[in-house]
Structure 1
Amino acid sequence: MTLFTGLSAFPLTPADAKGELKPELLQSFLERIVEAGADSIGLLGSTGGYAYLTPEARKHTLRAAVECVAGRTPLIVGVGALTTDVAEDLARNARWAGVDGLLLAPMSYQPLTDEEVFRHFEAVAAAGELPLCIYNNPSTTKFTLSPELIARLAELPNVTAVKMPLAADGDYAGEMQRLRAMTPEGFAIGYSGDWGAKDALLAGGACWYSVVAGLLPEPALALNRAAQAGNAAEAERIDHAFAPLWALFREFGSFRVMFAIAESLGFGSIAAPRPLLPLDQAYRIRVEDALRPLLQVAA
């Protein structure tokens, strides 16, 4: 499969109590993804907490990841930053490190205009010189990329894909049809938002950019493969096993829940960056209950 298709697994960036990267633990997460057979790894996405990390911490994380997976599984790295200069530097560093692709979200503090976002992407894509996926994530960036802006960005050199949020009306087929009519042939339209992945993939989505695959790659891959093969009954069966976990993702946010999953799977206590707080013990019990049917799918 080509880059930005299939299953892209997004791991946590594990840190100790002082906020220092635990490289061995990160590499343990990456090994699980590689061994499961995911189509790519999405390093330093939202699940990787990129927005909370300094540029140097991100470069350190990237070095540890490349050391582990280079040449085995395609590596996509998030290079979003508040300023274009920093994002350009991260993109160049990613290219020098030997990654396969970039993921870029329009991070902001001051609200951005469409023209500002276009010029930001233009500069970062040129600096990285790698296939780049547009990260349309309005729930965190507070900026929604319109179909018209996505189409304009898709004309830029190196911009080859978009990572879309879940369709508000659930009409993935219609949304993709409209975007495909506006973008170059081969432009890959994929989706994040794990609890809607089944429907997006069955409708023809090119890629599932998956939070849960960062720690549970095998059941995520089973769901991905069933849906992309058009096997709706099998995809529904696996998605039903995920349902308790999807409920937790919607209630608390997938980022918080992933830290609880890591502890439940025996990876120890990994603290989310402050000011985020861990889930209370009662909710952690719900996480453990939600994992049981998924471990059976993995088996």
Structure 2
Amino acid sequence: MFSGLSAFPLTPMSENGIDEAAYIRLIERLAQAGVDSIGALGSTGSYAYLSRAERLRTTQLAVRHAGGVPVMVGIGALRTRDVLALAQDAQAAGASGVLLAPMSYQRLTDDEVFGLYETVTRALSIPLCVYDNPGTTHFEFSDALHGRIAQLSKVASIKIPGVPADPAAAQARVARLRALIPAHVTIGVSGDGFGALGLNAGCEAWYSVIGGLFPQLTLDITRAARAGNPQEATRLSDRLAPIWALFAQHGSLRVTAAAAEILGLVQSPCLPLPLRSLDGQARQHLKAALDQLPH
């Protein structure tokens, strides 16, 4: 489940709770498209804004409606005890894997982050993906730290935050990390504008935000790259260039939420306050970009 396209859906919600009907529709849409895995409760799934009970319910819904597609569940939290409780919930709900980012309020040290993964992996019966997302956690993994963590039992993949824009530099970056981690641990690219570039550079997986809304298009990109056709993967990714530009300007969560609202997949608003999706001119730019894409 840690190769190919892993699609990360929104968790649509209001201040009254999760919109379960809309969430089920998003999950079933991904399952019907045949994505390789579903990443529930990632950053796009607003995991940090949900209670333990809400996260358990979201996990249960994802597993129940995934149609046999493996579900990876985010278990990040500020305290190790809470991560362990969330891991227990995910396993009990039937998740196929977990995704862990080193959340913090106080800046963490390398040894503290290693200790987190060491403790959590000892308690797991399912595999773990390391979530390297400095844009939200403000913690930057070194390749050396990735190498240490990748030796731990149950670590199966590393989700890296994009690659250099130059193809040769991207290949070199992936090769440097690959040299430090076991062969069974996959490398997955995130930062959707770098998806095709990362896959073409040797990443085995694409952990994709936009895949949660456009699974077929992102599957086509993934399959082209994995089949050794980098030109086609790049061509298909370039169709999404206006979306990538909006991601860079406004953040992928706000853009994805607005896109789901525009497409009628969720009710508006769908984000936990104080977060808001796009409005005004930015929303009009997004709508124009969406009109050019197959839905």
Whether TM exceeds 0.5 here: the answer is yes
For these two proteins, the number of residue pairs brought into alignment is 292
The unaligned stretches of length 5 or more in structure 2 are none
CA distance in structure 2 between the partners assigned to 1:215 and 1:270 by the alignment = 17
CA distance in structure 1 between the partners assigned to 2:201 and 2:184 by the alignment = 17
8 Å Cα contact 2:163-2:197 kept in structure 1: no
* Matched residue, 1:269: 268
CA distance in structure 1 between the partners assigned to 2:60 and 2:224 by the alignment = 34
CA distance in structure 2 between the partners assigned to 1:21 and 1:127 by the alignment = 29
1:25 maps to 2:25: no
Shift of 1:169: 6.2
CA distance in structure 1 between the partners assigned to 2:240 and 2:37 by the alignment = 21
CA distance in structure 2 between the partners assigned to 1:8 and 1:146 by the alignment = 24
Q: Secondary structure at the match of 1:208?
A: strand
Shift of 1:130: 1.1
* Matched residue, 2:186: 188
The residue identity in structure 1 corresponding to 2:33 is: A
CA distance in structure 1 between the partners assigned to 2:65 and 2:233 by the alignment = 31
User: 1:105 is matched with which residue: 98, 101, 104?
Assistant: 101
1:49 maps to 2:46: yes
Q: Tell me which moved more, 201-210 or 225-234.
A: 225-234
CA distance in structure 2 between the partners assigned to 1:250 and 1:25 by the alignment = 26
CA distance in structure 2 between the partners assigned to 1:92 and 1:108 by the alignment = 21
The residue identity in structure 2 corresponding to 1:236 is: T
* Matched residue, 1:120: 116
Deviations 1:62-91 (A, max 9, x none): 11112212x610100010100000000101
8 Å Cα contact 2:130-2:155 kept in structure 1: yes
Shift of 1:168: 4.5
8 Å Cα contact 1:74-1:100 kept in structure 2: yes
User: 1:58 is matched with which residue: 51, 55, 63?
Assistant: 55
CA distance in structure 2 between the partners assigned to 1:236 and 1:169 by the alignment = 12
8 Å Cα contact 1:19-1:273 kept in structure 2: no
Deviations 1:198-226 (A, max 9, x none): 11111111100000011111111111111
* Matched residue, 1:173: 171
The residue identity in structure 2 corresponding to 1:61 is: T
Deviations 1:97-145 (A, max 9, x none): 1111111000000111111111111111122221101111111101011
Identity of aligned residues (%): 46
Q: Secondary structure at the match of 1:89?
A: helix
Q: TM-score, normalised by structure 2?
A: 0.95
* Matched residue, 1:250: 248
* Matched residue, 1:260: 258
1:138 maps to 2:138: no
Q: TM-score, normalised by structure 1?
A: 0.94
Deviations 1:18-51 (A, max 9, x none): 2401111111001111111110000000000111
CA distance in structure 1 between the partners assigned to 2:79 and 2:72 by the alignment = 20
Instruction: Tell me: CA distance 1:252–1:240, structure 2 relative to 1, closer, same or farther (3 Å).
Output: same
8 Å Cα contact 2:269-2:277 kept in structure 1: no
The residue identity in structure 1 corresponding to 2:3 is: T
* Matched residue, 2:237: 239
User: 1:162 is matched with which residue: 158, 161, 175?
Assistant: 158
8 Å Cα contact 1:262-1:270 kept in structure 2: no
CA distance in structure 1 between the partners assigned to 2:16 and 2:121 by the alignment = 30
8 Å Cα contact 1:94-1:128 kept in structure 2: no
Q: Tell me which moved more, 139-148 or 162-171.
A: 162-171
Deviations 1:268-296 (A, max 9, x none): 3133222222312322121111112321x
CA distance in structure 2 between the partners assigned to 1:288 and 1:19 by the alignment = 28
